Amino acid sequence: MTKVAVDAKKKRKKKGTEETPVHHIGEVNKDLLLDLAAKHGTPIFVIDHEKLRENYREFKRHMPDVQVYFAVKANSNPEIVKTLYDIGCSFDVASMPEFMIVYQNIKKIPHKQRQQWIWDKIIYANTIKPIETLEALDKYKPLVTFDNHYEILKIRDHAPHAGLVLRLRVPNTGSMVELSSKFGAHPGEAVDLIVEAFENGLVVEGLSFHVGSQCTNFENYMQALQISASIIKEVEDRTGRKIRILDIGGGFPVKYHPGIRSIRTLAKKLNAEIKRLFPADMQILAEPGRFLVANTCTLVAKVVGKAVRDGKPCYYINDGVYHTYSGQVFDHINYPVLPFKDGETQISAVFGPTCDAFDTITLSAELPELDIGDLVYSENIGAYSHASSTYFNGFPPAKVVHINK
């Protein structure tokens, strides 16, 4: 091992376990990945449906009274949606194409049953909706979110049969991806907006909030729950109407490394605070996306080029930040590039296949010497990755391969 690699390893040890990625791929699964790559070529994006089901069961085990709405935007693959539909999951959609991916699973059931399913199982959780979208949604009568005066008027005129959920702006401190700058009504105007919606003949069913994606500061949830309880009480005092839906959003953290606290810890806090603040008949919704799909997917890519630059090995693989590794840009997550082969490692750079220097995956991968044609993989890459892949330079997204369906 080179001195650079030794120094880097010592530095990571000083930082503690927080910098150590959590690995799930055992030797048996490595063999499976190699077999799949031989069969399908590379790059491949492997989705493990049994892991998906396990994640759903884990969430329900820790929060049994919370209705789970999968955030389709995290990974909109129709087969993922189908697997979750089959085990009873509900869905958070943010566009008509996402809505229609879910709708494909229910289009053949009787009309009345289908309408009831949509009402009970879908929330359109994008506060800003084009008029065309509202007009298309109105016949389905789903729950939709809003957060401002102008959206009330649009909904009144183009989707008056929808049930409304007011999204609140709440603290996002410490979350990987902050959302409050773009979405959410200030708590101080929340009650007035709900009253305005009622006055326009609309039905406000609930409140929602989002503490930010990959939230490791659990205090965000506690503050948001307290803000919501206060607003619900004021609405009931002013209008005599009851709010009986509370959507606690997403942000549930994935253990990308051991330093991230588990869902069990967060669930214990959430369950206690919900029980303390809200009546027993309050329907609690949640919108996990990342939590359900992040560790269900693995990318396998191939080394297509190599060079030595300034003494550092550089490898070029056939996937990059314009494709599956796009999550490094949009989602601020680092996906370690890992080798299938063993050997003495050294600090190496890994680049994607495009002609843009921005297509840099990492400058600090610990890799053995690789040859052109060797395979590498990245795990825990299921959320906000393939979903944001592009066709830049004409390179298509990685081929999707399903296992354990």
- Please list the active-site residues: 355
**Eight-class DSSP state of 22:** P
Largest CA distance in the chain: 72
In terms of phi and psi (left: phi > 0; alpha: psi -120 to 50; beta: otherwise), the region of 12 is alpha
- Cα–Cα distance for residue pair 98/326, rounded to 1 Å: 20
- Give the C-alpha separation, 174 to 177, whole Å: 9
CA distance 264 to 59: 9
Residue for token digits 């003494």? 311
CB 223 within 8 A of CB 168: no
- Could you tell me if 299 and 33 are in contact, meaning their C-beta atoms sit under 8 angstroms apart? no
Cα–Cα distance for residue pair 108/119, rounded to 1 Å: 16
Please name the residues in contact with 111: beta carbons below 8 A apart, sequence gap of 6 or more.
none
Integer CA distances (angstroms), 209 to 191, 193, 357, 397, in order: 15, 15, 38, 32
Residue 42 is given by DSSP the state S
> Which residues, at least 6 apart from 161, have a Cβ–Cβ distance to it below 8 Å?
138, 139, 141
- The tokens of 58 are what? 């884990």
Instruction: Give the contacts of 399 (CB within 8 A, at least 6 positions apart).
Output: 40, 41, 43, 44, 45
Cα dist from 262 to 216, 257, 327, whole Å: 9, 11, 22
Nearest to 377 by CA among 307, 297, 321: 297
10 burial type by CB count under 10 A (0-12 exposed, 13-18 middle, 19+ buried) = exposed
The three-point CA angle 86-88-93 to 5° equals 95
Q: Which amino acid is at 128?
A: I
Q: Is the alpha carbon torsion for 205, 210, 214, 220 positive or negative? A: negative
